[in-house]
């Protein structure tokens, strides 16, 4: 049974729906290879907040409309008006970074389903998710050096954490496009699949995740994110609380019983 709820994002270029426990967010600007405008960034933040607070959502998938791009970066048509100088650029960055931070704040698994170009701000979005699955015709790059732009500290910190300093420098210094296989080799993506199998592969991952205990997944995500923080910013008290919540949960009881009874557990997230 397909249980689908369409979400009004307030922006036609950001589509959202909840389908069988999965929240789908689509960058819907295919004529511009899903380049992201300020209005789209604002809708992304609102949608991410909705998915984060909705118990019906167990996992979130980000994707791009059409077959040419996941996200090809910021909408350059707005640069003259919105990013003409440092002051305007800072205001734009604040809006786009707010959207990415809302994505990062979702304490549920977030998957990027990538096909085609994932460039500039597209990589910025992809780095905020937990799992990146791409088609074999995908291409990745950060062309900031070709535009005279500089990326903020947090974005470069995330890139360096993901691929290491040597590859981060190569990506930024050259501005070249990487193939899907190169992206997999350096750790930029988790998995590469044939283009025709991309959605089926992502849905299979969603099914695996939604079958598991939500509280355990939440505890795992929060703890791993803290591992990547500076030591003085780690919240060990919250990590302990999440671990205790798992041990005291109905789901832990259900998991034990299902194992003993040799059946599939039915987790409820409490």
Instruction: Tell me the mean pLDDT in the region 102-110.
Output: 95
Structural domains in the chain (count): 2
Q: Quick one: 201 and 150 in the same domain?
A: yes
Q: Do residues 99 and 229 share a domain? A: no
CA 169 to chain centre: 22
- As given in the structure block, the two tokens for residue 38 are 């300020």
| 3 state SS of 103 | helix
Regarding whether 222 and 174 lie in a shared domain, the answer is no
Which one has a higher pLDDT value, 21 or 92?
21
Q: Give percent of the chain with pLDDT exceeding 90.
A: 75
Between the alpha carbon of residue 237 and those of residues 30, 102, 219, 226, 246, the distances in Å are 45, 23, 12, 11, 15
**Angle of helix 236-247 versus helix 214-227 axis, rounded to 10:** 160
176 and 56, same structural domain?
yes
Length of the chain: 270
Residue of 266, 97, 104, 113 lying closest to 202 (CA atoms): 113
Separation of CA 38 from chain center: 18
> Domain check: are 160 and 83 in the same one?
yes
- Encode pLDDT of 115-136 as tens digits: 999 999 899 999 999 999 999 9
Q: Are residues 91 and 142 in the same domain?
A: yes
* pLDDT of 63 above 70: yes
153 and 242, same structural domain? no
227 & 155 share domain = no
CB-CB neighbours of 3 under 10 Å = 9
44 part of a folded domain: yes
Domain that residue 227 falls in: 214-260
| Residue 151: predicted pLDDT | 83
User: Would 268 be classed as within a structural domain?
Assistant: no
């Amino acid at each position: 049974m397909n249980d689908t709820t369409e979400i009004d994002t307030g922006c036609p270029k950001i589509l959202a729906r909840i389908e069988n426990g999965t929240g789908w967010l689509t960058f819907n600007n295919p004529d511009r290879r899903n380049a992201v405008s300020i209005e789209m960034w604002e809708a992304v933040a609102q949608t991410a907040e909705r998915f984060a607070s909705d118990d019906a959502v167990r996992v979130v998938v980000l994707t791009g409309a059409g077959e040419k791009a996941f996200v090809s970066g910021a909408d350059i048509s707005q640069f003259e008006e919105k990013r003409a100088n440092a002051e305007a650029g800072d205001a734009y960055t604040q809006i786009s970074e707010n959207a990415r931070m809302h994505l990062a704040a979702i304490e549920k698994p977030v998957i990027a389903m990538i096909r085609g170009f994932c460039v500039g701000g597209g990589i910025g979005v992809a780095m905020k998710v937990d799992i990146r699955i791409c088609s074999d015709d995908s291409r990745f790059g950060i062309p900031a050096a070709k535009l005279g732009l500089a990326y903020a500290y947090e974005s470069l910190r995330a890139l360096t954490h993901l691929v290491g300093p040597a590859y981060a420098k190569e990506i930024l210094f050259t501005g070249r496009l990487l193939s899907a296989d190169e992206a997999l080799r350096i750790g930029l993506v988790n998995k590469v699949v044939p283009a025709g199998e991309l959605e089926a592969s992502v849905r299979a991952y969603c099914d695996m995740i939604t079958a598991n205990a939500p509280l355990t997944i939440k505890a795992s995500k929060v703890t791993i994110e803290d591992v990547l923080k500076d030591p003085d910013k780690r919240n060990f008290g919250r990590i302990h609380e999440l671990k205790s919540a798992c041990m005291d949960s109905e789901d832990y009881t259900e998991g034990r019983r299902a194992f003993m009874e040799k059946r599939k557990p039915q987790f409820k997230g409490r």
